């Protein structure tokens, strides 16, 4: 199939690009757009394949990335060379053998499983540049490969043992990678590797190297070891084999022992690691570790598992001694959106902190002293990159639902917005700070890759060049209603809550419409493709709209970008303040004359499933029906990460009981559907089975959709599973809310 790469110069507009594709097919009879679950979740994907793994060559002149230009899941390596005065002309570097995905596989069990495996094969897993900027290293099918664009790839390392995180040392003389839980290093000679040498001997069951980083001189590596042996093993039954198999899984509940981590230094030739003494507890989380530009120091950003005691250290690489640089202790903190990085000269450290209104960038001298704000204001920073030209910051100044790229001087000052189009811009900045590879999407535009000139005096679309055009040609014929971004007041505490309102194509004011509130979760009110893009909800929402439903999402407490105080409203209150905010949103929809109060549904997954069930159990009559997918109805069985919000059951037994919707299930008066995957180790399937049994005993209106092969991300797996689940969820809402494509009155 012909590549859909847009081989043009400066960006002319996303909509214009899609129209060009449509125009190329104008001579062919185009079928009517198919607004169905089957089309939206069948390969090739209507919206194409999102580019991933963007990485710049050391000189910032060539961008490498992973992509599929035919809308399929299998990823190959592409590059785009940026030459001043010339159009951006991307090129395919690999065309790797991929398993065929038959359109109509044989109906036998084995043939079906083979087809599913082929669909889930995502091809190349990672890419990195050799320091010479000419050659690329990539991992594929467990092995390690070397390729110069335009030439045939060379296999460097062959299994046994899958290669993970292959990375050149800064000199280009060696490659390090993780295999079977240990760190390995091999010398590079031309286009061949010496026999890999295992430089750590840490691996055993439940223990191994999790991550590593090269020192600038290539002589040592910093490593993070993870030890999961303190975690209790639980059994997850698998009913698909001939005999039921109980699969052991290490899974800790709140208050139980969790994994241990330690950070150390090891020579590239091997030996016993020198473990750094950072104090605290073995369960502390390491968020960042980074060598200083000259390699004499290591920056470490870590916290207790409750994220109440954050500490930034500087370690002396030669001696292993550590020094506390910054400490932030906050008993009510619930989030850890922390970043930390060295300044270009290594004399100071930049880090994000929400010690003021929200997350902003702060700077502290590496020798010590009081931090000072680099950015400030009633908006939030979501990430930053330090370059010789200044900081490149992602923030939502002006529009809470958007994410834009800003230039900020290294010493602070007024931010200058570089990105222009409304939406979400996620940059990968070149080493010299001149260019950024920007993954962009909006409410009406699927994700695609652009290159932006960050140094442009007059930033705008003219300073961009398109790299990929991912949607299929037929995408241009579809209509994608843009949402309205709204605010309303919480009935609980008067806080301002943000919402995302989608109206059906045939919407007319003055009539009341059936409403689906969801998917309920944090960070859903975003101007990006699909709103909450961690799940493929774009198609499900669009079918709801086509059927005549209003779709409404809101940012519950704990969401980012609305201030520290808003985020901390959730402290010790899972299933409390958020249920009140959801109810407030429904009241707002009714007051605006939009919602038919007798036909309001709600749905969410994971914590959103908890909120759905809690809303039905504690507010009968507000919702006619709800779908709780993978619902965390028993918070006593949550992950240890939820201790950030709730502490432990031993410390807060009454709060855990109050937050568990299962304790309030007798209040159900309306219709509830449970959706759950049997392989879920995040929220245990047994909790939904228990809840179903209890509600059956009570004679309540409840049904369970079981997905035998699904993990926690039940809608992220093979597409047959997504189609099956979404079709039945739509049927449930149609039966209970009876949209039938129109308004109530």
The 3-state secondary structure of 326-364 reads EEEECCCCCCCCCCEEECCCCCEEEEEECCCCCCEEEEE
3-class DSSP assignment, residue 303: strand
Round to whole Å and give the CA distance between 282 and 42.
46
pLDDT of residue 8: 35
pLDDT of residue 101: 84
pLDDT of residue 461: 64
Radius of gyration of the chain measured on its C-alpha atoms: 26
Nearest Cα to Cα of residue 54 among 118, 163, 136: 136
| Contact by Cβ (8 Å): 176, 185 | yes
If you search the block for the tokens 């999102």, which residue do you land on? 50
pLDDT profile of the chain (745 residues), mean per 10: 33 48 51 95 97 97 97 97 83 92 82 93 95 94 91 84 91 95 94 92 97 97 98 97 96 98 98 97 98 98 98 98 98 98 98 97 98 97 97 97 97 95 97 96 98 83 86 97 98 98 96 97 97 92 98 98 98 98 99 98 98 99 99 98 98 98 98 98 98 99 98 96 98 88 45
Round to whole Å and give the CA distance between 547 and 275.
60
Prior bond of 44 cis (ω within 30°): yes
What is the phi/psi pair of residue 577, to 5°? -60, -35
| Burial category of 286 from C-beta neighbours within 10 Å (exposed 0-12, middle 13-18, buried 19 and up) | middle
pLDDT of residue 12: 40
Round to whole Å and give the CA distance between 558 and 568.
6
In this structure, the number of other CB atoms found within 10 A of the CB of residue 659 comes to 25
Round to whole Å and give the CA distance between 288 and 337.
11
3-class DSSP assignment, residue 271: coil
CA distances from 726 to 160, 610, 720 (A): 39, 19, 10
Nearest Cα to Cα of residue 647 among 634, 637, 656, 659: 656
What is the phi/psi pair of residue 661, to 5°? -65, -25
In this structure, the number of other CB atoms found within 10 A of the CB of residue 699 comes to 7
| Contact by Cβ (8 Å): 433, 454 | yes
Round to whole Å and give the CA distance between 164 and 166.
6
Q: Sheet holding 154-157: strands in order across?
A: 126-129, 136-140, 143-147, 154-157
| Contact by Cβ (8 Å): 140, 148 | no
3-class DSSP assignment, residue 654: helix
If you search the block for the tokens 């430089």, which residue do you land on? 199
CB-based contacts of 299: which residues, under 8 Å, 6+ apart? 288, 289, 290, 291, 292, 312, 313, 314, 340, 341, 342, 349
What is the phi/psi pair of residue 665, to 5°? -60, -25
Round to whole Å and give the CA distance between 128 and 222.
19
Round to whole Å and give the CA distance between 388 and 676.
49
Six token digits for residue 351: 């880090």
Nearest Cα to Cα of residue 396 among 358, 364, 432, 428: 358
pLDDT of residue 2: 29
CB-based burial, 334-359: b 16+ in 10 Å, e otherwise: bbbbbbbbbbeebebbbbbbbbeebb
Round to whole Å and give the CA distance between 505 and 512.
14
Rounded (10°) CA dihedral 509, 512, 516, 520: 70
What domains can you pick out in the chain, each with its CATH number?
276-371 (no CATH), 479-737 (3.40.50.1820)
Round to whole Å and give the CA distance between 544 and 483.
14
3-class DSSP assignment, residue 376: coil
CA distances from 175 to 78, 153, 317, 628 (A): 22, 17, 21, 47
CB-based contacts of 315: which residues, under 8 Å, 6+ apart? 276, 297, 298, 300, 321, 322, 323
Rounded (10°) CA dihedral 277, 282, 283, 284: -10
| Contact by Cβ (8 Å): 635, 663 | no
Q: Where are the beta strands (DSSP E) in 377-463?
A: 381-387, 390-395, 404-408, 416-417, 424-429, 435-442, 445-453
| Burial category of 657 from C-beta neighbours within 10 Å (exposed 0-12, middle 13-18, buried 19 and up) | middle
Round to whole Å and give the CA distance between 93 and 67.
11
Nearest Cα to Cα of residue 404 among 327, 366, 460: 460
């Amino acid at each position: 199939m012909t590549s859909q790469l847009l081989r043009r110069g400066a960006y002319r507009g996303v909509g214009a690009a899609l129209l060009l594709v449509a125009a190329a097919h104008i001579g062919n009879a185009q079928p009517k757009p198919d607004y169905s679950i089957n089309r939206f979740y069948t390969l090739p994907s209507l919206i194409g394949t999102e580019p991933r793994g963007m990485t710049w060559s050391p000189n910032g002149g060539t961008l490498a990335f992973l992509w599929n230009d035919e809308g399929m899941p299998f990823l190959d390596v592409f590059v785009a060379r940026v030459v001043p005065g010339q159009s951006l002309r991307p090129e395919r570097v690999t065309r790797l053998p991929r398993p065929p995905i038959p359109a109509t596989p044989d109906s036998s069990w084995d043939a079906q499983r083979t087809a599913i495996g082929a669909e889930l094969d995502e091809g190349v897993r990672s890419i990195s540049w050799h320091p010479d900027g000419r050659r690329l290293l990539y991992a594929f099918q467990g092995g390690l490969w070397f390729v110069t664009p335009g030439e045939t790839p060379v296999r460097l390392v062959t299994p046994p043992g899958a290669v993970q995180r292959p990375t050149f040392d800064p000199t280009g003389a060696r490659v390090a990678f993780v295999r079977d839980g240990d760190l390995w290093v091999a010398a590079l000679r031309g286009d061949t590797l010496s026999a890999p040498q295992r430089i750590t001997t840490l691996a055993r069951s439940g223990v191994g190297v999790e991550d590593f980083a090269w020192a600038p001189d290539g002589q040592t590596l910093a490593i993070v070891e993870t030890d999961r042996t303190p975690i209790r093993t639980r059994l997850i039954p698998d009913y698909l084999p001939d005999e039921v198999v109980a699969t052991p899984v290490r899974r800790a509940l709140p208050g139980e022992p969790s994994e241990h981590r330690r950070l150390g230094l090891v020579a590239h030739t091997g030996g016993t690691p020198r473990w750094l003494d950072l104090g605290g507890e073995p369960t502390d989380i390491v968020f960042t570790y980074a060598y200083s530009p000259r390699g004499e120091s290591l920056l470490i950003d870590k916290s207790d598992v409750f994220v109440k005691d954050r500490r930034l250290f500087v370690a002396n690489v030669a001696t292993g001694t550590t020094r506390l640089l910054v400490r932030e202790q906050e008993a009510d903190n619930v989030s850890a959106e922390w970043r930390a990085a060295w300044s270009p000269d290594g004399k100071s450290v930049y880090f994000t902190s929400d010690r003021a209104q929200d997350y902003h960038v702060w700077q502290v001298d590496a020798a010590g002293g009081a931090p000072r704000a680099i950015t400030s204001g009633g908006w939030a920073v979501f990430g930053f990159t330090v370059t010789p030209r200044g900081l490149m910051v992602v923030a939502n100044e002006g529009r809470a639902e958007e994410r834009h790229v800003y230039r900020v001087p290294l010493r602070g000052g007024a931010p200058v917005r570089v990105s222009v189009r409304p939406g979400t811009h996620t940059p990968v900045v070149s080493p010299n700070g001149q260019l950024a590879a920007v993954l962009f999407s909006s409410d009406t535009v699927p994700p695609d890759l652009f290159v932006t000139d960050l140094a442009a005096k007059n930033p705008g679309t003219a300073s961009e060049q398109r790299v990929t055009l991912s949607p299929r040609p037929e995408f241009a014929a579809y209509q994608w209603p843009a949402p309205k971004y709204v605010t309303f007041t919480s009935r609980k505490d008067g806080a301002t809550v943000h919402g995302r309102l989608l109206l059906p194509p045939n919407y007319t004011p003055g009539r009341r419409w059936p409403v689906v509130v969801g998917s309920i979760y944090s960070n859903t009110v975003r101007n990006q493709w699909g709103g909450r893009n961690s799940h493929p909800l774009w198609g499900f929402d669009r079918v709801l709209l086509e059927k005549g439903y209003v779709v409404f999402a809101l940012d519950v407490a704990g969401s980012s970008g609305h201030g520290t105080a808003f985020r901390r409203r959730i402290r010790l209150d899972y299933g409390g303040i958020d249920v009140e905010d959801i109810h407030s949103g429904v009241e707002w929809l009714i007051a605006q004359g939009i919602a038919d109060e007798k036909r309001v549904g709600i749905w969410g997954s994971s914590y959103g499933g908890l909120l759905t069930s809690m809303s039905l159990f504690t507010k009968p009559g507000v919702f006619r029906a709800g779908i709780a997918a993978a619902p965390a109805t028993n918070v006593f069985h949550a992950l240890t990460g939820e201790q950030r919000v709730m502490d432990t059951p031993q410390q807060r037994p009454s709060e855990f009981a109050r937050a568990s919707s299962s304790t309030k299930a007798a209040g159900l008066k309306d219709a509830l559907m449970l959706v759950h995957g049997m392989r879920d180790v995040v929220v245990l399937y047994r909790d939904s089975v228990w809840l179903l049994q209890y509600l059956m005993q009570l004679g309540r209106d409840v049904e369970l959709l079981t997905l035998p092969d699904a993990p926690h991300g039940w809608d992220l797996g093979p597409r047959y599973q997504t189609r099956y689940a979404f079709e039945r969820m739509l049927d449930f809402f149609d039966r209970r809310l009876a949209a039938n494509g129109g308004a109530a009155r």
